[in-house]
Structure 1
């Protein structure tokens, strides 16, 4: 039995008895019970009540691939995958073509080994949120992508704002917040040389269903799109895939971004007291915006202004 078939029966968030599920799927009640255990083992939060049966703690609309409207771009959708970053990278490698034909996007209902910055896990409950990645092999060096993380963060903020999310900010270098709480995260991986060619994959995770997430899993205040607006995941995915493709094409053509001048509007950290984590070292200061290369500037206690690059450090507001 395909896990996704049973999971989609639970997508309404309603109670389903073991007898009902067994009849629908043509299996025994014992088989349903074992399958429920397997779903819980991959992270689904399923409630049980003897008189009612089983239900998922949240409802969701399965992704409809036909609603992701980006002509001419290879888009792959998996029910359950390890990582959409890996899926998108594999799609590019399979094609063995040049830009722009190698640009690929991958989405999933659930990631089993989703990852964030600095090796952190990205919590990925099934069907509840947006897990997507875009990848390409580019005829430019990695140095051309120096500010891409910031540009993608601004793009995510603008798309969510356009769809009705309020008070959207970007926490340098690549987290998106709503009302001061974690709403989305971005992971960009680049390999290749600095000047002539590189491979890039842009992973984006956006919280859509607040009830699917739990404080003990995330470890910080969080929010989700459904706390602000009723928008389908496909709408947001479509807008982001288009924006990412267009920005990568501008980079290939040597054009500068019109996004960075927007940074001040979305900057979550400027003016806040922060702690910079540089390996085992903790540095205290006040965030004072970005330098010309997109590095964060921190005013230290002795008055010194010091810049830090995104790949070096993690920053936490107090």
Structure 2
């Protein structure tokens, strides 16, 4: 499509005149103008124009490249990953892997991966939308076939979060925090989220879709997010290659899943305690139409949040629950 090819050219962050673009894409200047308008309307692309200079994207963007990512995977990951699908635009990377055709087509493979430059129905927990501006972040979903029951996979989301937190530290992101059940924060601001969806027999086997949304570079992007957030661009002095970073993220996810298969959540509990930002703090618990308060006391071996209320400890399972610190200054809520 013309607008996609145009966007690819503009990804260098330089000015391109309408005449130059028309010649390169073999179309009229009017068609270029319409394509730019479409990119703004459909994808909220931050493209601006200057008379006499042409069109320019607000940020240079390194588009995702399947071959670069595959080449950068470790030998272990290359043996596991049977396919990577990359889309310019998609409703949701999770939904793509969940679709019956994908589940049936690849039911004999262990792992499938889907990436997108833009999601128009990005998914968060409890039916909320994950804001997914074009080209600035990493929207990744990985499917994995487990010979385990839903119950045995109860702590997988937390294990993945710990693995990603360790991965971010490797890249120089200090002060990483985990907030039960699936938020990864930096200095109290949301940096990324994890969403797991399970399909199959409750007693096993089952396919689990692991969705990761990372705020990579949100500079100059048109976004409207209802909570405190940050991106890697604001944390790191120099941003890594988006493709290499994605490959290393996939390596980390695969390693974390394999460790979880072998040893369960027990292998991640100590690290969770180090990252846990709500432990021993007063929290507000929203559950359907009820609101309660308590003190977070860490997690149990299954991954349930332990909450103290009136001297009694109860276990809270994620489900349709949201958690936030009771401190009025806290602006991030687990979604």
- Residue 107 of structure 1 corresponds to 115
What is the aligned counterpart of 1:71 among 74, 78, 86?
A: 78
Q: Shift in Å at residue 5 of structure 1?
A: 1.4
Q: TM-score, normalised by structure 2?
A: 0.86
- Residue 276 of structure 1 corresponds to 285
1:50 aligns with 2:56: no
Q: What does 1:16-165 correspond to in 2, within 5 Å?
A: 16-41=16-41, 42-68=43-69, 69=73, 70-72=77-79, 73=81, 74-90=83-99, 91-97=102-108, 101-165=109-173
1:13 aligns with 2:13: yes
Instruction: Measure, in 2, the Cα distance between the counterparts of 1:289 and 1:255.
Output: 17
Listed as ranges, the gaps of 5+ residues in structure 2 are: 328-335
Q: Shift in Å at residue 257 of structure 1?
A: 4.8
Tell me: CA distance 1:15–1:274, structure 2 relative to 1, closer, same or farther (3 Å).
Answer: farther
Q: Shift in Å at residue 146 of structure 1?
A: 0.7
Q: What's the C-alpha RMSD, in Å, of the aligned pairs?
A: 2.1
1:59-98: CA deviation from partner (whole Å, max 9, x where unpaired)? 211122222224131222122222111233344431231x
Instruction: Measure, in 2, the Cα distance between the counterparts of 1:250 and 1:195.
Output: 21
Tell me: CA distance 1:270–1:257, structure 2 relative to 1, closer, same or farther (3 Å).
Answer: closer
Any conservation in 2 of the 1:275–1:283 contact (CA below 8 Å)?
yes
Q: What does 1:231-270 correspond to in 2, within 5 Å?
A: 231-252=240-261, 257-270=266-279
What is the aligned counterpart of 2:204 among 187, 191, 196?
A: 196
Any conservation in 2 of the 1:190–1:198 contact (CA below 8 Å)?
yes
- Secondary structure (helix, strand or coil) at the match of 1:306 reads strand
Q: Shift in Å at residue 253 of structure 1?
A: 5.1
Q: Shift in Å at residue 256 of structure 1?
A: 5.5
Q: Shift in Å at residue 205 of structure 1?
A: 0.5
Listed as ranges, the gaps of 5+ residues in structure 1 are: none
Mean CA deviation greater in 135-144 or 149-158: 135-144
Q: TM-score, normalised by structure 1?
A: 0.90
Tell me: CA distance 1:144–1:87, structure 2 relative to 1, closer, same or farther (3 Å).
Answer: same
- Residue 220 of structure 1 corresponds to 227
- Secondary structure (helix, strand or coil) at the match of 2:9 reads helix
Q: Shift in Å at residue 265 of structure 1?
A: 0.9
What is the aligned counterpart of 2:313 among 282, 305, 314?
A: 305
Any conservation in 1 of the 2:159–2:265 contact (CA below 8 Å)?
no
Instruction: Measure, in 2, the Cα distance between the counterparts of 1:110 and 1:236.
Output: 18
